[in-house]
Chains A and B, each alone.
Chain A
Amino acid sequence: MSAGLKLNQVKKAYGAVQVLHGIDLDIKSGEFVVFVGPSGCGKSTLLRLIAGLEDITEGTLEIGGTVVNTLPPSKRGIAMVFQSYALYPHMTVYENMAFGLKLAKASPDEQDKRVREAADMLQITPYLDRLPKQLSGGQRQRVAIGRAIVRDPKVFLFDEPLSNLDAALRVATRLEIAKLHERMADTTMVYVTHDQVEAMTLADRIVVLNYGVVEQVGTPMELYHTPANLFVARFIGSPAMNIVSATITSSGAPATVQPKTGNPVTINAEVDATYVDAEATFGVRPEDLVPTNGPGLFTGTVSIVEKLGEVTLAYLDTGLPDPITVKIDGDVEIIKGATMTVTAPADRLHLFDETGAAFPRMQFSHAAE
């Protein structure tokens, strides 16, 4: 019943414009995979290739072990939830959900049973006789999900399903989708979003895309703790990681780097001797920085303070091109204009070479997801 997905060097070009540059992916059956990346990076295109709404220019796509490159969408065992819901405006909720079954010539009893089951699951039974225009945004989104469930898909595809909902509803529906994944444990789910919070909270594994290239594939925690490169390091985590350019002064593990200003910094990363004197960048997450009285990583004046309640964000002017963001407990009083020194343990620093690729982190262990 269930089926994994396998993409082998999948490319997509619109005319002369290459949008996807050879995507390799192996998605296990029943896995919840999230494609995340900035707007225009090709997430939707990749999803539409899987759905069969666009032709694959080069490469192969397997669903459940069979190459489906030329199979029409309805024969691929997929269902899709669109960003705009895409309900049929002239059909009632019931008809919307039964439309696919009707076309597949399912018996009326079968249709009725499956529509009612899905409606029950999503608590939309009271609205079955309504038209889409008589529903709220959240209800429409449920109907769109219900229409997909009714198809009993092997692979469930979502294209930014929450982006048209308001903040509160977005959180509620996100939980709903997480529950849905639990209930449909054999169904593979592929979910596209540009929102890293959605990606982190929903995914078993995240695929980070940028300009049509996979930057990294991993569990949310892998991406957070061991980003493969600068792009992922900046993209995952909020607020974004602080990045500072420096020169590598000593190799080995740990290595030392010298930023443009300030003291040498020791980083728990494994650096080959050939890199000595090379330009590099190191990064530290705002939440890993702590105020200190002694010598620290960065010293500067607090230029902006943002109180979010449970945490406070402080932006330090340290003489570097970008301010350093610090995330500290909301109860700590920070005064704008004050001088502040912050530091972070050596094992919380990330080191990247000139091309942006991360050096391996030393004896860094986190529970394998």
Chain B
Amino acid sequence: MLWTYTKTTSFYLLVAVIVLVSVFPFYYAILTSFKSGTALFEITYLPTHFSLDNYISVLTTGSFVRNFGNSILVATSVVVLALFLAVTAAFALARVSFRGRGLLLMTILAVSMFPQIAVLAGLFELVRAFGLFNTPFALIFSYTIFTLPFTVWVLTTFMRDLPVEIEEAAIVDGASPWVIITKVFMPLMWPALVTTGLLAFIAAWNEFLFALTFTSSSETRTVPVAIALLSGASQYEIPWGRIMAASVIVTVPLVVLVLIFQRKIVQGLTAGGVKG
């Protein structure tokens, strides 16, 4: 009896610690974003001040809104482009047998092992050569490259598990590979598409190094860089309030996306098509 109590108690204690550790930084950011003036430098753990000054200042001064738009443009394009390329590639890798398929899959995985910093210089040359420097395309291009291996792998694994007979039924019904992908496979792959799409979006949304390197003007920057470069009245003042407000604003789209798509991840959609 006592043992069960202890077990339950320590379990919830552990949960509490984990929740505290993961939520506290975000909670503190929200708290700080509503403070202004000297209140910023008082350490409080409960909401004591409420002022929207920081938010108004972030949204009205500088190019934050523009940067936010850039981020949305870049992340959305990356998701669309990466999913399109990955779904078509996964179809070939999972369903068409050709020589060197295994090797190709391994190569794709190997590519994703390089750290960003290792390819930064080379990628920079490419971006310049293509004339993409300081445009959103530079970021779309480089993020897509970095997202694709993972996306292709996940979708290939998923597609390989779809029943072959369903594909063959579609072939007998006269479906072309494109129709099979879009009308038969994609509806069955919703969970995988949403998951990989969401991860690609988050990665593109938060990326900093490429964004810093491949853009040079405040109009083309994405939010992570913009936030890092927010400056105060003097170079000795770090505008904590505005940084926190901007960070909170930037997190909102991610939370919204997760909430929307969580419902769309319909499990067991393949049930019923084949025996069982």
Contacts and interface: CB of A to CB of B under 8 A. Distances in A.
Interface centre among A82, A83, A87, A89 (most CB of B within 10 A): A89
A73 B269 CA distance: 27
B173 A84 contact: no
A134 B271 CA distance: 9
Contacts of B263: none
B172 A131 contact: no
Interface stretch (A97-105, A173-181, A212-220, A221-229): A97-105
A317 B61 CA distance: 102
B173 A82 contact: no
Question: Closest 4 A-B residue pairs measured CB to CB?
Answer: A133-B272, A74-B174, A89-B273, A100-B173
Contact of B270 (A53, A79, A89): A89
B163 A84 contact: yes
Contacts of B273: 85-89, 132-133
Nearest to A90: B187
Interface string A108-138: 0000000000000000000000011111010
A3 interface: no
Contacts of B272: 87, 89, 131-135, 140
A56 interface: no
Contacts, number: 87
B184 interface: yes
Given A53-B168, A74-B172, A89 B271 contact: yes
Contacts of A134: 272
Contacts of A137: 275
A51 B172 contact: yes
Contact of A83 (B165, B173, B175): B165
A313 interface: no
23 contacts: A72-B171, A73-B172, A74-B172, A80-B169, A82-B169, A84-B275, A85-B274, A85-B275, A86-B165, A86-B166, A87-B169, A87-B272, A88-B166, A88-B170, A89-B188, A89-B274, A90-B187, A90-B188, A99-B183, A103-B179, A133-B273, A140-B272, A147-B173
Contacts of B275: 83-85, 137, 140, 164
B163 A86 contact: yes
B173 A86 contact: no
Given A86-B165, A90-B188, A80 B271 contact: no
Contacts of B166: 86-89
B165 A103 contact: no
Interface centre among A74, A79, A83, A86 (most CB of B within 10 A): A86
A74 B270 CA distance: 24
B185 to A, nearest CB: 10
A86 B167 CA distance: 8
Interface of A: 51, 53, 72-74, 78-80, 82-90, 99-100, 103-104, 131-135, 137, 140, 147, 151, 164
A82 B165 CA distance: 7
Nearest to A137: B275
Interface of B: 163, 165-166, 168-175, 179, 183-184, 187-188, 269-275
Nearest to A148: B172
Nearest to A80: B172
Contacts of A79: 172
Nearest to B173: A100
A73 B171 contact: yes
A84 B276 CA distance: 9
A47 to B, nearest CB: 11
A128 B272 CA distance: 15
Nearest to B166: A86
Contacts of B168: 53, 80, 82, 86
A232 to B, nearest CB: 30
Contacts of A80: 168-169, 172
Contacts of A104: 174
Given A89-B273, A103-B179, A151 B173 contact: yes
Nearest to A98: B173
B171 A133 contact: no
A279 B92 CA distance: 57
A226 to B, nearest CB: 37
A90 B165 contact: no
Contact of B171 (A74, A84, A131, A151): A74
B268 to A, nearest CB: 8
Contacts of A82: 165, 168-169
B62 to A, nearest CB: 47
A99 B174 CA distance: 9
B170 to A, nearest CB: 7
Nearest to A84: B274
A103 B269 contact: no
B176 to A, nearest CB: 8
A99 B183 CA distance: 10
A133 B172 contact: no
Contacts of A131: 272
A90 B189 CA distance: 11
Nearest to A150: B173
A132 B172 CA distance: 19
A99 B172 contact: no
Given A87-B274, A99-B175, A103-B179, 11 more contacts: A53-B171, A73-B174, A86-B273, A88-B166, A89-B166, A89-B274, A90-B187, A99-B173, A133-B272, A134-B272, A140-B272
Nearest to B174: A74
A85 B270 CA distance: 13
Contacts of B174: 72-74, 100, 103-104
A84 B183 CA distance: 20
Contacts of A103: 173-175, 179
Contacts of B169: 80, 82, 86-88, 147
